[in-house]
Amino acid sequence: MGHSVAVWDQQVAMEITKDWNGIDQVTLRSPRGASTRVSLYGGQVISWRNDRGEELLFTSNKAIFKPPKAMRGGIPLCFPQFGNGGCLEQHGFARNKIWTIDDNPPPLHQSDSNGKAFVDLLLKSSEEDFKCWPHSFEFRLRVSLAANGDLNLISRIRNINGKPFSFSFAYHTYLCVSDISEVRIEGLETLDYLDNLCQRERFTEQGDAITFETEVDRVYLTSPNVIAVLDHEKKQTVVIRKDGLPDVVVWNPWEKKSKAMIDIGDDEYKQMLCVDGAAIERPITLKPGEEWTGRLELSIVPSSYCSEHLDHHFRGL
């Protein structure tokens, strides 16, 4: 089954509803009350709540929930192109397609299913995509919610073409923060990054941790597999674990850019921060029949826990 739960009542753990455009959304719930919701429009996770019902992903109050535009918030999937660096539309077409529920996906490791509520989604290349990106692929996305509320995303992209193709990818993750000036990211210090605000020029991060006092739009390269977003005011930390995703995008549009965007409020930049597990600098190349897997896990811990327990990860990975 492509949508399943392990130990608790499936009726309670998973629900399929329609949004106001008639597009299916799948809600997964944990026994303690955490939840996540994924839209079949774009395979986009549009909500992730803890067991107190607090939303952990940012969605703009001015978000446009109308195809063909990806909704501003949640976790849009950027594939097969990140940004506008190729011939495709910004961030590729996957976030603007209708996905299907995959009832019979190739198996994953047992630990990816045990004790989790999950749903498997599928996007296949269409003739329309073929005009701008002439490659046949299958993109499988598993979204799962662990009993403790951790959110897991597993993307599997397979080349079902007769020739190789290359792509870039990002989980464009909009985190909800208390106040951007109270937030810092740990795990990216000393890394090289490409600065999208300076024609992708390469710099080296000098600070101890990343903090925010102006617009930031960067791709950090060859990053550790665990990074942390500490929210001082909330006293909580989002721990991002990733695999197969060497790069990390950090984006906050700040005031001026927000004012120029129609689907974000003038001040909403204060409550959002994009931190994306990504593969951008070196595109992934798949030979015919090959498959790539990119994993993202988001968990929430108290900030005190973070400094004590995650420090060795930053040093060791």
Annotated binding site: 72, 90, 95
The CB density around residue 20, as the number of other CB atoms within 10 Å, is 7
CA 62/CA 76 separation, integer angstroms: 16
Considering only residues 166 through 225, tell me which ones interact with ligand TA6, judged by CB under 6 A. Answer: 196, 217
DSSP state at residue 11: H
Complex with ligand TA6: residue 145 or 216, whichever CB lies closer: 216
DSSP state at residue 107: P
Residue 73 in the binding site for ligand TA6 (CB under 6 A): no
Smallest separation, CB 217 to ligand TA6 (Å) = 5
| Residues in binding site for substrate | 72, 90, 95
Both tokens of 235, joined, read: 């006293």
The single residue among 90, 126, 285, 304 that binds ligand TA6, judged by CB under 6 A, is 90
Residue range at the interface with ligand TA6 (CB under 6 A); choices 11-19, 26-34, 83-91, 187-195 = 83-91
CA 135/CA 132 separation, integer angstroms: 9
Residue 105 in the binding site for ligand TA6 (CB under 6 A): no
Question: Are 227 and 247 in contact, with CB atoms under 8 Å apart?
Answer: no
- State CA 224 to chain mean position distance: 17
Residues 6 or more apart whose CB falls under 8 angstroms from that of 55 comprise 47, 48, 49, 176
Smallest separation, CB 251 to ligand TA6 (Å) = 4
Complex with ligand TA6: residue 77 or 146, whichever CB lies closer: 77
Residue 71 in the binding site for ligand TA6 (CB under 6 A): no
Rounded to whole angstroms, what are the CA distances from 79 to 33, 41, 142, 156, 170? 32, 14, 16, 12, 7
| Size of the chain, expressed as the number of residues it contains | 317
Smallest separation, CB 148 to ligand TA6 (Å) = 30
Residue 249 in the binding site for ligand TA6 (CB under 6 A): yes
In the complex, the residues that contact ligand TA6 under the rule CB under 6 A are 83, 90-91, 196, 217, 249, 251
